[in-house]
Amino acid sequence: MTDTMDEVRRLLQQDDLPGAVRSLRPHAETAPIAELARATAALADKAGFTDLADAARTAAARPHEPQALYDFGYACVERGIPFLAVAPLREALGLLPDSRPLLTELVAALEDERRHAEAAALLAGRGDRLPAWPETYLLVHNTLFAGDLDTAEALLPTLPAPEDPQWAPARDRQAHQVRRSGRARHAQRGAGHPDPLGPADLRGWHHGLTGGLLGTLSPYGWDAGMTGRYAYLGDTFGQCRHGLARLGIALEAAGRRPASVSLLPGRSDRILGLAAAAVLGLPAVPYEPGRTDTLVVAYDLNRCDPDLVRTLHARADGQILSEHATCWTDPPAVSADFSTLLCQFVAPPWQDDDRSEEEIARDIAAADPAPDGGDGAAPPDPDEAFRAFVAGVAPGWLAAPRDRVASPGPVPSSRFA
């Protein structure tokens, strides 16, 4: 750890705070906690996080005191570096094994690190002693997000209604996720998927967890860890046109025919919305939150005004939200009903194009809708299989609020650090 601490100091002297944080990750659960805390204090001082710096220094001085360890771990989670919270919280829980706050905070750190199977095992290890709220709820959540639908389905009926009404939305969201996942598995079987809701069924799990339809799977890097997602995407008119073709298939297969396309105010949203209106043969109208029976088109919801996005959480009657490029590492505040693709970063094809929105939209509508052939390693994703999947899940589609889902779920993908 001494060499690592030297590396942290060197990177901090170079004002490379992200690099200093990354340098600690390989040692976060093997280094002595006192040394880990001292390194974290140095990071926190550089970042101006006084709360974290104070908690880290206290833990460095008292590395066997449960409260000091809890405060240190809690501050790490709150400041967005949960990987540094796992070791101190695990140590504290070993000292106070019956502590519910320590258990739930350790579960929170593991969840934020997408280590759902470990979180589920930790909770399941309590057996019949596990309280219902929030611990059994968290067990169902992490079991499902680890990819074990059968166990989640068996656990869900054992979870009683919460006494605290603040947990009621979470209970409803979880019930929707478990039931949707079951329908998605059945639909993928009908669509001929080789392993429905297996560790590579991105479309099935995306629908089960978010309620949305995933129009396309990345044809690049499938065997290099991407599993249908993009990391960085330099978008093209053809990709946008292919996405609109898949959107049309989804609407047809689900028996939906909106009366209009609602244009959000952003330039990219208006371009894609105008193209969607042309391709689908629908009139384009300005977005109004209460407008019913309409298709709302976004290019990237993370680039939209946050106040506007919040109006999309509760769906107006017959309203469908389509997003072209959905960020899977930092999901938007609402989950779209249809996403063309999942990516980490995207560069719109018109970012340096000064032409009018209408001209660019016409070029998208006229582009070749054929899918990108990719690198040849991805499994086929024919229109017929997508159509069959949408038809299979259509009765439950658009039936729940558009809740944000922070975790990518059971299907892993490589990402930029």
Instruction: Please answer whether residues 244 and 369 qualify as being in contact, where contact means their C-beta atoms are separated by less than 8 angstroms.
Output: yes
Q: How confident is the model at residue 23 (pLDDT cuts 50, 70, 90)?
A: very high
> Listing from the earlier edge strand, what are the strands of the sheet with 284-286?
213-214, 338-343, 320-327, 294-298, 260-263, 284-286
Q: Is 190 helix (H, G, I), strand (E, B) or coil?
A: helix
Whether residue 343 contacts residue 299, with contact meaning beta carbons closer than 8 Å, is answered with no
- CA distance between the termini of the chain: 22
Which residues 6+ apart lie within 8 Å of 277 measured at CB? 260, 261, 283, 284
Mean pLDDT across 377-396:
97
- For position 1, what pLDDT does the model report? 56
Q: Write down the pLDDT at residue 6.
A: 83
Packing angle of the helix pair 86-95, 66-78 (nearest 10 deg): 150
- Tell me the two tokens of residue 208: 């089960």
390 or 314, greater pLDDT: 390
Could you give phi then psi for residue 341, rounded to 5 degrees? -155, 165
pLDDT at 313: 94
Helix (H, G, I), strand (E, B) or coil at 322: strand
The Cα-based distances of 257 to 136, 137, 248, 294, 385 in angstroms read 41, 37, 9, 9, 21
Q: Point out which residues pair with 298 in neighbouring strands.
A: 323
Count CB neighbours of 395 within 10 A.
11
Q: How many of the other CB atoms lie within 10 Å of CB of 112?
A: 19
Contact 268, 296 (CB under 8 A): no
Q: Which domains does the chain have, with CATH numbers?
A: 2-113 (1.25.40), 117-146 (no CATH), 196-396 (3.40.50)
Res 2: pLDDT = 62
The pLDDT value recorded for residue 299 is 98
Give percent of the chain above pLDDT 70.
99
Segment among 20-34, 196-210, 249-263 with least mean pLDDT: 20-34
pLDDT surpasses 90 at 335 = yes
Do 79 and 63 contact (CB within 8 A), yes or no?
no
pTM: 0.96
CB 32 within 8 Å of CB 69: no
Task: Report whether pLDDT(57) > 80.
Answer: yes
When the pLDDT of each residue in the chain is averaged and rounded to a whole number, the result is 96
